């Protein structure tokens, strides 16, 4: 196991640990891949915090010249400690006029090398992992990276025809220095890192009072109030303040989130300008067959990783079959049949029963379930391989 021995190189980290161990500071950490809904989740939960800090590590990395900057330390240890210093500064400033501070910090999976992650996970007392169904997450990631590659300044992210038309170029494009690799390789590494990070945190906090939960961003949008309430309860995070949450006035909360970078940059612009949580729509529905072959294979490889986290006991919210079947909430089937199918498998445990259930509910709604069969087959294979049974 690799160890880091930089002595005073971790002075800011030590100061942050002293603050959190003093009892005056509680640190809530949000961790997800890019395009997983972690930013909107951060904005929501910032309403229950005194301080909210957006991507201090990746922000510091980008400001310092990226992965290939000069005079860097192994595993970006210099960036890690510098970002800890930014966090400490924000906390100390708040504590000059207050006795305690509740801090929400959001960062992306893929920044932390395992050596650094082992150090960082000692600091927060609550961990929330955000996930998003791979068809959607990758479509959003591909769109964002297409905008970067073709220098759209945010204008190309919403142009799906352009994104898909250029996908064979974008999927293999080398990304800017704050990332490391191609569009495909970076996303694959982030997903695998997310699962590895989750398992490591789960093991590290076992037997302690620290809390961990997972939140699916599609299910958050499907039933926002219930999903957030269940996540807060699972994490035992200021549940007494839940009534103060205002999910219809998020732009005001967004202004509260501190960000070392420009808050109007394309990657976060939409979330920062969102007044409410966007409802599910059929316009975002995406199936495998619209992607090039390599992207299709990438999504196939991500689905089992996603299911590992979707089905984990730490999952904050999974709707019941009756919830999905109601008229009010039937959009989960029409917009995201892969998720509806995966959730149904949790309860019905049988391919034919799930197919019959999904087909009967889809009815004459504007979606072709057949176009998703290759993805649904992966869910079947997952259950057959792992033989998991959930009550």
Tokens of 348: 């019905």
Q: What is the pLDDT of residue 134?
A: 97
Last residue of a domain, one of 318, 347, 369: 318
The percent of residues above 70 in pLDDT, for the chain, comes to 93
Q: Confidence band (pLDDT; 50, 70, 90) for 64?
A: confident
Confidence of residue 387 (pLDDT cuts 50, 70, 90): low
Position 16 pLDDT exceeds 50: yes
Torsions phi, psi for 177 (to 5 deg): -65, -20
The closest of 208, 201, 58 to 119, measured between CA atoms, is 201
At residue 72, does pLDDT exceed 80? no
**Which range in 59-73, 235-249, 275-289 is most confidently predicted, on average pLDDT?**
275-289
Tens of pLDDT, residue by residue over 254-296, are 999 999 999 999 999 999 999 999 999 888 889 999 999 999 9
Locate 290 and state its tokens: 């619209």
| Residue 328: per-residue pLDDT | 56
Q: Is residue 186 included in any domain, yes or no?
A: yes
Residues 160 and 194 in one domain: yes
40-48 mean pLDDT = 96
Show which of 267, 289, 318 is a domain's final residue: 318
Per-residue pLDDT of 220-234, as tens digits, reads 999 999 999 999 999
Asked if the structure places residue 9 within a domain, the reply is: no
Q: What is the pLDDT of residue 228?
A: 96
Residues 231 and 332 in one domain: no
Q: Are residues 275 and 169 in the same domain?
A: yes
Both 236 and 298 in one domain: the answer is yes
CA separation for the pair 184, 20 (Å, rounded): 37
Average pLDDT for the chain: 90
Same domain, 271 and 333: no
**What is the enclosing helix (H) or strand (E) of 128?**
strand 126-131
* Residue 157 pLDDT grade (very low, low, confident, very high; cuts 50, 70, 90): very high
CB under 8 Å to 58, separation ≥6 — which residues?
107, 108, 111, 178
Residue-level pLDDT at 362: 67
Asked whether the predicted pLDDT for residue 4 surpasses 70, the reply is: no
Question: Do 156 and 269 form a contact (C-beta atoms < 8 A)?
Answer: no
pLDDT tier, 154 (very low <50, low <70, confident <90, very high otherwise): very high
Strands 51-54 and 258-259: parallel
Q: Is residue 246 part of a domain?
A: yes
Quote the pLDDT of residue 389. Answer: 47
- Same domain? 230 vs 346: no
CATH code: domain of residue 98:
3.40.50
- Domain hosting 280: range is 25-318
Classify residue 7: in a domain, yes or no: no
Q: What is the pLDDT of residue 274?
A: 93
Does residue 145 register a pLDDT over 90? yes
Q: Are residues 249 and 330 in the same domain?
A: no
Residue position matching structure tokens 């650094």: 116
Any domain includes 10: no
Asked if residue 6 is part of any domain, the answer here is no
pLDDT in tens, 318-360: 999 999 888 555 678 888 989 999 999 999 988 899 988 877 8
| pLDDT one-digit tens code per residue, 176-205 | 766 789 999 999 999 999 999 999 999 999
pLDDT of residue 363: 62
The single residue listed with the structure tokens 């932390």 is 112
CA 219 vs CA 238, 280, 283, 293: distances in Å: 22, 9, 17, 28
Residues 163 and 182 in one domain: yes
Q: Would 336 be classed as within a structural domain?
A: yes
The per-residue pLDDT for range 199-216, each reduced to its tens digit, is 999 999 999 999 999 999
Predicted TM-score (pTM) of this structure: 0.94
Same domain, 272 and 208: yes
Report pLDDT for 264: 93
pLDDT of residue 110: 84
The Cα–Cα gap between 378 and 334 comes to: 19
Per-residue pLDDT averaged across 81-99, rounded? Answer: 97
Distance of CA 5 to CAs 11, 78, 119, Å?
Answer: 12, 12, 12
The predicted-structure confidence for 357-382, as pLDDT tens digits, reads as follows 877 876 655 556 777 888 999 999 99
pLDDT for 314 beyond 70: yes
Residue 170 lies in a domain: yes
Q: Strands 258-259, 25-32: parallel, antiparallel or unpaired by DSSP?
A: unpaired
- The last residue of a domain, from among 286, 318, 350: 318
pLDDT computed for residue 330 by the predictor: 62
Domain tally, the chain: 2
With a cut of 50, say whether residue 390 has pLDDT above it. no
């Amino acid at each position: 196991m690799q160890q880091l021995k930089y002595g005073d190189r971790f002075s800011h980290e030590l100061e942050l640990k002293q603050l959190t161990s003093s009892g005056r500071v509680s640190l809530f950490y949000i961790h997800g891949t890019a395009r997983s809904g972690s930013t909107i989740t951060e904005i929501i939960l910032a309403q229950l915090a005194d301080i909210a800090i957006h991507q201090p590590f990746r922000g510091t990395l980008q400001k310092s010249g990226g992965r290939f900057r000069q005079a860097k330390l192994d595993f970006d240890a210099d960036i890690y400690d510098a970002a800890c210093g930014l966090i400490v500064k924000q906390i100390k400033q708040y504590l000059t006029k207050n006795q305690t501070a509740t801090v929400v910090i959001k960062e992306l999976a893929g920044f932390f090398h395992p050596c650094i992650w082992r150090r960082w996970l000692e600091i927060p007392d609550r961990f929330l992992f955000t996930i998003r169904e791979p068809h959607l997450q990758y479509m959003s990631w591909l769109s964002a990276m297409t905008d970067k590659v073709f220098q759209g300044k945010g204008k190309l992210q919403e142009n799906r025809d352009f994104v898909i038309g250029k996908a064979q170029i974008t999927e293999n494009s080398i990304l800017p220095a704050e990332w490391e690799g191609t569009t495909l390789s970076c996303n694959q590494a982030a997903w695998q890192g997310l699962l590895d990070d989750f398992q490591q945190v789960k093991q590290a906090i076992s037997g302690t009072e620290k809390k961990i939960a997972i939140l699916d961003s599609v299910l958050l949008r499907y039933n926002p109030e219930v999903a957030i309430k269940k996540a807060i309860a699972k994490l035992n995070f200021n549940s007494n303040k839940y009534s103060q949450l205002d999910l219809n006035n998020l732009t005001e909360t967004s202004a509260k989130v501190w960000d070392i970078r420009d808050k109007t940059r394309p990657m976060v612009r939409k979330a920062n300008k969102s007044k409410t949580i966007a409802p599910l729509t059929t316009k975002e529905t995406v199936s495998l067959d619209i992607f090039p072959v390599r992207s299709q294979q990438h999504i196939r490889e991500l689905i089992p990783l996603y299911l590992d986290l979707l089905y984990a006991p730490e999952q904050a919210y999974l709707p019941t079959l009756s919830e999905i079947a109601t008229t009010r909430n039937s959009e989960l089937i029409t917009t995201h049949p892969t998720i509806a199918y995966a959730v149904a498998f949790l309860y019905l445990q049988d391919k034919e029963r799930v197919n019959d259930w999904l087909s009967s509910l889809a009815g004459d709604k504007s979606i072709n379930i057949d176009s998703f069969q290759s993805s649904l087959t992966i869910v079947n294979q997952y259950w057959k391989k792992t033989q998991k049974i959930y009550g």
